[in-house]
Amino acid sequence: MKPITANFRTKAAETLEDQQIQQSIEHVYTGFFKGRLNAAADTNNWEELRTKGKAIKDHTIANLDYYLSQLADNVEKNGGNVFFADDAEEARQHIIDIAHKRNIKTVIKSKSMVSEEMGLAEAMNKEGFETIETDLGEYIIQLANETPYHLIAPAVHKSRSDVAKLLDDNFSDSEPIPDATELTMMAREKLRGVFARADMSVTGANFAVAESGSIALVTNEGNGRMSTTVPRVHVAVMGLEKIVPSIQDLSTMLRILIRSATGQRISTYVTMVNGKRTVDEEEGPEEFHLVIMNNGRLKLLEDEHSREALNCIRCGACLNACPVYRKVGGHAYGWVYPGPIGAIVSPVLTGLKDANNLPNASSLCGACHDACPVKINIPRMLLELRYRTAEGSTDPQERTSSAKERGVWKAWRMGMMGRSRFDLGARLVATALRPFTRKGWLKKAPPPISGWTSTRDFPAVASKSLRSRLSNRLRRVK
């Protein structure tokens, strides 16, 4: 998928105007956000679990090479194959090669953000493989030819009638069916046929366990379990950060992931995959492949200010908590990862030049930090990225502020560093802005500060500072 992060403002404005989407995405607050709060309140040791989760991720990321090599050894001991892909293209090509070599016709996919990074379904369809998403939300998105809107609810922006129309356009001759149960049954019936004829599956991995070489999949629809047992070839794809050292650590991570994602204590299915079918097993694939993808993650690892983003377990809680995401929606972010975590990951992975609007898509209220089950300090990282786009980056391509803008801020800084300079500066600015001021408000500031008043009024700069007003008053009192 080609990142189009540069269109943030336009896409955000379109979503703000779309009443249907505004109504549909309310669910991220009324459903997921409130569900997480209730689940946390019902868990006695919630804060302890979050602290433990953070410690597990900090430790794993600090020792990533050790745990990745342990994972690879154990997957191979279990009879699986491991491939380290440096980027999305390498990963995609490897999976396509496996499919060609095994004479595959139908590929089923279960939800995976890493496969979205690869644009895998589209590429495999182009290669002539019938490639179908099996998570209901992803299936809807695939029929609509769109990208996921949310980390765990890809079709959250679609209304029931949108879904009815989509299914009707694709499969039925009758009128669109308005009933949600009937719609689900219709999709289920279609997908059952696909499961039956699939000869290869591609799934994600919510976690990979280094000590056992297993992967864990969390789903509510059972499609993950069907995908890992029915087809003869199973390929699991993961980012290199999706690793935990032990089964015990997995148990902690599952508890915080599921509660933070949907507010459930446990999801309907938690599937553990230990590789291909063994001789005494009746079900399972004949072949198991694990594709571990870098695709810019090592850049995050090297960057001490953004490294913490590798702790993310993709629960989506920061999206649900974010007042900006809840209004501008997922497509405004332009790439696979939306919301507060996307505003950090996308600029680092796809380049700050195109994604320079994303770190500004935040009120810095801190709700994402409070919501994050592994306590990722998202506001701190957003501020660092803002600093880089403004003046801190050594790469001129990334430093997006104009020389004029930097000149204004330099003058501001100088003015703020001395009392007499501040007073003189305030008087000069108040005089310069007087022609633009009406009844105490600045409604249309001139360039280069015009952006400040393009969507809101700004209080006029006072002609006298508070300090000089107070000393005048004190003088009068005496």
Q: Is 313 in the site for ligand SF4 (CB under 6 A)?
A: yes
145 sits in the region (left: phi over 0; alpha: psi -120 to 50; else beta) called left
Tell me how far apart the alpha carbons of residues 43 and 41 are, in angstroms, rounded to a whole number: 6
Q: Please state whether beta strands 214-219 and 207-209 pair in parallel, antiparallel, or not at all (unpaired).
A: antiparallel
Judged by CB under 6 A, which of 107, 163, 376, 381 binds ligand SF4?
376
The Cα diameter of the chain in Å comes to 98
Length of the chain: 478
Site map for ligand SF4, 235-264, x if CB under 6 A? -------------------------x----
Report the interhelical angle of 247-262 vs 34-41 (nearest 10°): 130
Closer to ligand SF4 by Cβ: residue 231 or 373: 373
Q: Is 318 in the site for ligand SF4 (CB under 6 A)?
A: yes
In Å, how far from its chain's centre is CA 319? 8
Beta strands in 105-254 (DSSP E): 106-109, 130-133, 200-203, 207-209, 214-219, 233-239, 243-244
Closer to ligand SF4 by Cβ: residue 215 or 374: 374
Q: Is 371 in the site for ligand SF4 (CB under 6 A)?
A: yes
Sole window of 65-73, 162-170, 371-379, 434-442 interacting with ligand SF4 (rule: CB under 6 A): 371-379
Q: Is 28 in the site for ligand SF4 (CB under 6 A)?
A: no
Closer to ligand SF4 by Cβ: residue 264 or 437: 264
Q: State the number of binding residues for ligand SF4 (CB under 6 A).
A: 15
Q: Is 374 in the site for ligand SF4 (CB under 6 A)?
A: yes
Cβ of residue 468: shortest distance to ligand SF4, in angstroms? 47
Q: Is 382 in the site for ligand SF4 (CB under 6 A)?
A: no
- Residue 302's φ and ψ, nearest 5 degrees, are -75, -20
Cβ of residue 426: shortest distance to ligand SF4, in angstroms? 40
Report the interhelical angle of 180-197 vs 136-144 (nearest 10°): 90
Q: Is 312 in the site for ligand SF4 (CB under 6 A)?
A: yes
Q: Please state whether beta strands 81-85 and 106-109 pair in parallel, antiparallel, or not at all (unpaired).
A: unpaired
Judged by CB under 6 A, which of 372, 381, 385, 442 binds ligand SF4?
372
Please list, in sequence order, all residues whose beta carbon lies within 8 angstroms of the beta carbon of residue 374, skipping any fewer than 6 positions away: 50, 53, 54, 57, 256, 311, 312, 313
Q: Is 316 in the site for ligand SF4 (CB under 6 A)?
A: yes
Closer to ligand SF4 by Cβ: residue 293 or 372: 372
Q: Is 301 in the site for ligand SF4 (CB under 6 A)?
A: no
Sole window of 60-68, 91-99, 190-198, 365-373 interacting with ligand SF4 (rule: CB under 6 A): 365-373
Place of tokens 């979205």: 116
Residue ranges in contact with ligand SF4 by CB under 6 A? 151, 260, 312-318, 341, 371-374, 376
